Chain A
Amino acid sequence: MTKIKSLFISLVLTLGVSTAIAGSHGSTLDLVKERGKLMCGSNTGLAGFGAPNDAGVWEGIDVDVCRAVAAAVLGDASKVEYVPTTSKVRFTVLQSGEIDMLSRNTTWTLSRDVDLGLEFVGVNYYDGQGFMVNKSLGVSSAMDLDGASVCIQVGTTTEMNLADFFKANGMSYESVPVETNSEADAAYLAGRCDIYTTDASGLYASRAGYPDPSAHVVLPEIISKEPLGPAVRHGDSEWADIVRWSLNAMIIGEELGINSGNVEEMKGSKNPEVLRLLGVDAGYGAMLGLSDDWAANILTQVGNYSESFEKHIGPNTPINIQRGLNALYKDGGILYAPPFR
């Protein structure tokens, strides 16, 4: 986080508090239903997470959360208006009520959750700072990196994390400061540094564009916590519940083996949780103020978490990210949704 950013956030904070209080108008759910479409704050373009494709249709795993909420509330995943937001304006755009929810690789932190008048409703991608090296160096662990030169974006939290990590492990490094991701790519490829460090998802996305992606390896050590997730405004818990459970429905869908292809078939399942999720056992949608087939709509139109992950950032895409932390808890990851009952 740059200095400017924190300055800006404190500025927003002073102004935002007054709005958060004033912002307790009618419920967001009614507003969305009345409008007939969901206003969703998206990225201005981040590979695999949210970007318009050649046909102008937004795609990505962050975008899929917006689509899931639209499917749950309006019954149609395509009824979303995307409002591209930059990292600098994203929170005020949400606070001012221009968008109903924000889903753009935003790290859930205490100050954002508490101070900025936001409410993070879950995590749709567990990110963390990682290291990328050229395979020819023969390095397999970050512990072997003593004395290496590191391409690092100046003035960011990654810079501080890096210093902490090397200090804690009694190692030294030489920093090669760069300004932007693309500059880092160029410096790293030109061999001006041995290692390139930033959020792991960013490393994978960069690597995908390299002339020979297989020559580079992202090391297994992740040295910081960057849980990315959708956020809504403080003060409308019903709406927060809907967004939270829309995301959870995708995760539970994967747990129960329900995907976009077998929803109808699964409605005949004997598993009571499946029947509750798909609305065969009525009543759960009404608790959220939605129709009973809300989760079935999400799973038919958007798919479960695994489908979304595999389609946009998984090993078969150019980004090529392994599930890792983002695997279900029973598959060795930490993705875990509360029970649907």
Chain B
Amino acid sequence: MSIVTQNFSRNKYFNWAVKNLFSSWVNTIMTIIAVIFVYEIGSFFLNWSIFSADFKTNFEGEIITDRTLCSKNIVPGEYGACWAIIYARWDQFMYGLYPVEETWRVNLTYALLPFAIIGILFDKLPFRKLFIYFTFIFPFIAYFLLYGGPGLSTVGTNKWGGLLVTLFLGVTGIGLAFPLSILLALGRRSKMPIIKSLCVVFIEFIRGVPLITLLFTANVMLPLFLPDGVNPDNLLRALVAVTLFQSAYMAEAIRGGLQAIPKGHIEAAEALGLTYWQTTRKIILPQALKIAIPPIVNTCIGLFKDTSLVLIIGLFDLLGIGRAALADMTWTKLYYEVYVFISLVFFIFCFGMSRYSLYLEKKLKTDNS
């Protein structure tokens, strides 16, 4: 073995491969099996999803308007995915049943969203202050654009759907839950007994109940207790449940960060004469939140995916609208296409969040942690 290594020492990739992949006969066999496996799966998937797939037209060049025109349904066994369902239903995947002539409002909101969050994500941004101001007024702009108001026709939330609902629940849920969870985490560590017990009860209760139960409670029980005619919006009810759920989980993540801070820091701050809020804002939270980044992002990713549970209360989120597409006789049984597409969309967002958290961890890394 050592002779082989020496002969090819010029090539560091080869060395790496020999050391890591072919160091013993067991590893060699494992490597070969893994390569074959990856190749088989990968080539099958690429072939299915791209090379022998239909996009807008089938193999005869016809535009696909229903499932019977998919190549794979004309010549069984020969062709792969039929992505025409995604083309045909693109608007529904993006906006739900939002009126077609008003979808520019959703597009504008989508386009403004990055500007609203970029300010909080990156601190070395030029004109960051302006971006932060925009972050605070964005919810009002988004509400006006999406729901309507003076000059814009009202589009009820029962018309919202697809990515719009998923993003709305995810972004708003996380955005509202974040401040709430900081308060809960601080409250849970407070020395004031009433505040402390309220926070403990809230967190433990919400964490002890599955999100589905909360959604059902919000959706089904709430209207029964309210007077007739008072029907809080369906989407709003789901949002409340999602926010409460997320804040309880995030509070525990932040509490973990709070507990990791040495007591000396707090005592030092007190010795300097800082008040509780000054200590918290300037010394405790910056450190605690840094430590808590991985678990916070973890709960955010979890929540983003959990939003698909709203389909059981009849909201058309991305998954719900996909299932509705499958229920249309025009497209029925194109399960793989729809589910692969939905997974891809979820993956893009969740992977983005996870990369951002890695970036943040690296940037904030100091030696004491």
Which residues of A approach B to under 8 Å, CB–CB? 12, 15-16, 18-19, 22-23, 25, 43-48, 51-56, 81-86, 88-89, 92-93, 95-98, 182, 205, 208-212, 317-319
Tell me the minimal C-beta distance from A37 to chain B in angstroms: 10
> Is there a chain A Cβ closer than 8 Å to B281's Cβ?
no
- Which B residues lie within 8 Å of A15 (CB)? 221, 224
Contact B330 A54 (CB under 8 A): yes
Q: Which residues of A contact B330 (CB under 8 A)?
A: 53-54
A96-B231 CB under 8 A given contacts A52-B97, A211-B73, A317-B329: yes
9 A-B pairs (CB sep. < 8 Å): A16-B224, A47-B327, A47-B329, A52-B92, A54-B92, A88-B313, A89-B220, A98-B223, A205-B332
Nearest CB on A from B65, distance (A): 8
Q: Do B332 and A96 have beta carbons less than 8 Å apart? A: no
In the bound assembly, the distance between CA atoms of A16 and B316 in angstroms comes to: 26
Q: How far is B89's CA from A12's CA once the two chains are assembled, in angstroms? A: 36
From 216 to 231 in chain B, residues with beta carbon under 8 angstroms from any chain A beta carbon are 216, 219-221, 223-224, 228-229, 231
Q: A23-B228, A54-B92, A89-B216 are in contact. List 11 more A-B contacts (CB 8 A).
A: A25-B229, A45-B324, A45-B325, A46-B327, A52-B324, A52-B328, A54-B89, A54-B328, A54-B330, A56-B91, A319-B329
CA–CA, A182 and B323, complex, Å:
12
**Distance, CA A205 to CA B328, complexed state (A):** 10
From A18, A25, A98, A317, give the contact of B231 (CB < 8 A): A98
CA A19 to CA B67, docked complex, whole Å = 45
A22-B228, A56-B97 given as contacts; is B329 within 8 A of A44 (CB)?
no
Say yes or no: B219 contacts A44, CB within 8 Å: no
> Shortest beta-carbon distance, A226 to chain B, in Å?
19
Residues of A within 8 A of B67 (CB): 209
Which residues of B190-237 have CB atoms within 8 Å of chain A's CB atoms?
216, 219-221, 223-224, 228-229, 231, 234
With contact pairs A97-B229, A209-B332, A211-B76 given, residues A45 and B92 touching in the complex (Cβ less than 8 Å): no
- Identify B332's interface contact among A56, A81, A92, A208, CB under 8 A: A208
Decide: B220 and A92 in contact? CB cutoff 8 A: yes
List A contacts of B328 (CB < 8 A). 45, 47, 51-54
Closest beta carbon of chain B to A76's beta carbon, Å: 17
Central interface residue in B219, B323, B329, by most chain A CB within 10 Å: B329
Contact A89 B228 (CB under 8 A): no
CB distance from B218 to the nearest CB of A (A): 11
Give the distance in Å from the alpha carbon of A52 to the alpha carbon of B320 in the complex. 12
Report how far A323 CA is from B124 CA in the complex, Å. 69
B156 proximity list for chain A (CB < 8 A): 81
Closest-CB distance, A181 to chain B (whole angstroms): 11
Q: Which residues of A contact B231 (CB under 8 A)?
A: 96-98
Give A89 to B223 CA distance when docked, in angstroms. Answer: 12
- Which B residues lie within 8 Å of A53 (CB)? 328, 330
Residues of B with C-beta under 8 A to A25 = 228-229
Does B326 make an interface contact (CB < 8 A)? yes
**Does B312 have its Cβ within 8 Å of any Cβ on chain A?**
yes
Contact assessment for B158 and A83 in the assembled complex, using a CB-CB cutoff below 8 Å: yes
> Which A-chain residue is minimally distant from B231 (CB atoms)?
A98
CA distance A112 to B335 in the complex (A): 33
Bound together, the chains give a CA A210 to CA B332 distance in angstroms of 10
Roughly how many angstroms separate A51 CA and B324 CA in the complex, as a whole number? 6
For B88, give the chain A residue with the smallest CB separation. A54
Whether B314 lies near A89 (C-beta < 8 A) is yes
B100 within 8 A of A: yes
> Assuming A47-B329, A208-B332, A318-B332, is B219 touching A89 (CB within 8 A)?
yes
Q: Which residue of B lies closest to A31 (CB)?
A: B229
Hey, which chain A residues are within 8 Å of B29, CB to CB?
none
Interchain CB contact under 8 A, A88 and B312: yes
The interface centre, meaning the residue of B158, B219, B229, B327 with most chain A CB atoms within 10 A of its CB, is B327
Indicate if B108 sits at the interface (CB-CB under 8 A).
Answer: no
B128 within 8 A of A: no
**B365 located at the interface, meaning its Cβ lies under 8 Å from any Cβ of chain A in the complex:** no
**How far is B332's CA from A208's CA once the two chains are assembled, in angstroms?**
8
Q: Which residue of B lies closest to A91 (CB)?
A: B220
Q: Is the CB of B220 within 8 A of A44?
A: no
Q: Is B311 an interface residue (CB 8 A)?
A: yes
Please indicate the chain B residues that have their CB under 8 angstroms from the CB of A22 in the complex. Answer: 228
The CA-CA distance from A182 to B326 in the complex, in Å, is 11
| Minimum distance in angstroms from B231 CB to a CB of chain A | 5
- Asked whether any CB of chain A lies closer than 8 Å to the CB of B355, the reply is no
> B333 at the A/B interface (Cβ < 8 Å)?
yes
Are the C-beta atoms of A47 and B332 separated by less than 8 Å? yes
> In the complex, A85 Cα to B312 Cα: how many Å?
8
CB proximity of A180 to chain B, nearest CB, Å: 11
Known: A56-B97, A205-B332. A89 touches B89 (CB 8 A): no
- Chain B residue contacts of A55, Cβ below 8 A: 100
Please list the 4 inter-chain residue pairs (A to B) with the smallest Cβ-Cβ separation, ordered nearest first: A45-B327, A209-B333, A96-B223, A45-B324
